[in-house]
Structure 1
Amino acid sequence: MAARLPSWAWVTGLTAGATAVVVALAVQADHGPRPTAAVARPGASASASPHATLSPKAPSVPALPDRSGEGRRIVYSLAAKRVWLVDATGKATRTFTVWPGTVSPQPGRYSITLRTQSLKGSDGVEIEHVMYFTKVDGVNVAFSNALDGASPPPANGQKLGGIRLHKEDGAALWSFGDQGTRVAVVD
């Protein structure tokens, strides 16, 4: 006759088995896809359907402005406060917003005339990736970014020609534009 197992042994065995299954499922779930929640945007209207769902839309990237030239170039839109880096085929490879200075260049065609790795800007901020392309009323106009990545301080009535970029955009522009690279300024 076989010996009978005490009840505590059965309970211990079942508990250990259940714990192992839960751990295995948790590890498997940790490597699976993550659900994402749709976020309602301000001004979104309610749907008439009780089962409607909001699907997130990718933010639209502003199109390269018309009549901004051809070939490899930097395009700067005064109204959009935006820069596009355009490859030799005419395709925008990157675009980003900027903080313009108080002095703006006229729409037209320019080229990078001088590049300076870093210096103190006319607003007193340490800047880097400085790329000059024109002068307006004695004020140099250049792309740059603050060393600390901050947006520019208020101008307080100063004439400033610095077009400030986010730090990562400044690095991308620096890599893209050498001395002589064309710059198209559009409205």
Structure 2
Amino acid sequence: MPARLPSWAWVSGLTVGAIAAVAVLAVKADQGPHPTAAVTRPSPSVSADAHPTPKQTAPARVPDGSGTGRRIVYSVGQKRVWLVDASDATRRSFTVWPGTVDPDPGTYSVGTRRQDPQDGSDGVRIEQIMYFTQEDGVWIAFSNAVDGSSPPPPASGAKTGGIRLPKADGDALWEFGTSGTKVTVVA
């Protein structure tokens, strides 16, 4: 009668075999294609029905007819802002969440600025508010949420004039847009 192997020998053999199989698979995986991770800036999430999610991208071209010199350019159609310096170079460009009331195309200037947080018309705490015009009895202003969130979808029929920015873009706009800074609105 053949000798029987002890159970520890079976377990040891199976363990060695499993380790060898994992090692072979690891070597094959290392020789295959490697995924690359794209570095992206986290942005506030928003429902698909509400507004686009702002993203910082390579500067888009400043719209034709937006004037010259140092200015803030806001495109209603593109939902985008450009910070343009005195040499007409774009210093920063970013997408925004507009309110339900759009300003008419034209040239305005930054008027009242409020840095301290307050409640926006949508109930969200906002800061770095920069008013530049009034349309249909609604003040139009750039601002960002204190917590960096996107605005909630407006209530049906609500008139809101806030053009909401992501926090980092709100900081940049606050530094750039001093009182009297030209704001050009294009379609």
Q: Is TM more than 0.5 here?
A: yes
Change (3 A) 1:36 1:176: farther
Query: Offset at 1:119?
Result: 1.3
TM-score normalised by L of structure 1: 0.68
Q: Secondary structure at the match of 1:175?
A: helix
Is contact 2:105-2:184 (8 Å) kept? Answer: yes
Structure 2 residue corresponding to 1:87, chosen from 85, 88, 98: 85
Query: Offset at 1:186?
Result: 0.4
Q: Across the two proteins, how many residue pairs are aligned to each other?
A: 134
TM-score normalised by L of structure 2: 0.68
- Unpaired runs of at least 5, structure 1: 1-34, 40-58
Name the CA distance, whole Å, in 2 between partners of 1:84 and 1:92. 6
Please list, as runs of the form range in 1=range in 2, the aligned pairs for 1:5-84 lying within 5 A after superposition.
37=36, 61-84=59-82
Equivalence for 2:127: 128
Is contact 2:119-2:125 (8 Å) kept? Answer: yes
Name the CA distance, whole Å, in 2 between partners of 1:186 and 1:36. 42
Query: Offset at 1:38?
Result: 8.5
Query: Offset at 1:153?
Result: 0.5
One-letter amino acid of the counterpart of residue 103, structure 1: V
CA distances 1:28-68 after superposition (whole Å, capped 9, x unpaired):
xxxxxxx98388xxxxxxxxxxxxxxxxxxx6532111110
1:172 aligns with 2:172: yes
Q: Secondary structure at the match of 1:172?
A: helix
One-letter amino acid of the counterpart of residue 91, structure 2: T
Equivalence for 1:109: 107
Equivalence for 2:21: none
Name the CA distance, whole Å, in 2 between partners of 1:36 and 1:155. 40
Query: Offset at 1:178?
Result: 0.7
1:156 aligns with 2:152: no
Equivalence for 1:25: none
Query: Offset at 1:182?
Result: 0.3
- Unpaired runs of at least 5, structure 2: 1-33, 39-56
Name the CA distance, whole Å, in 1 between partners of 2:153 and 2:177. 28
Provide runs of 4+ in structure 1 moved above 6 Å: none
CA distances 1:126-151 after superposition (whole Å, capped 9, x unpaired):
00010000001110000000000000
Q: Secondary structure at the match of 2:72?
A: strand
Q: In percent, how many aligned pairs have the same letter?
A: 60
One-letter amino acid of the counterpart of residue 69, structure 1: G
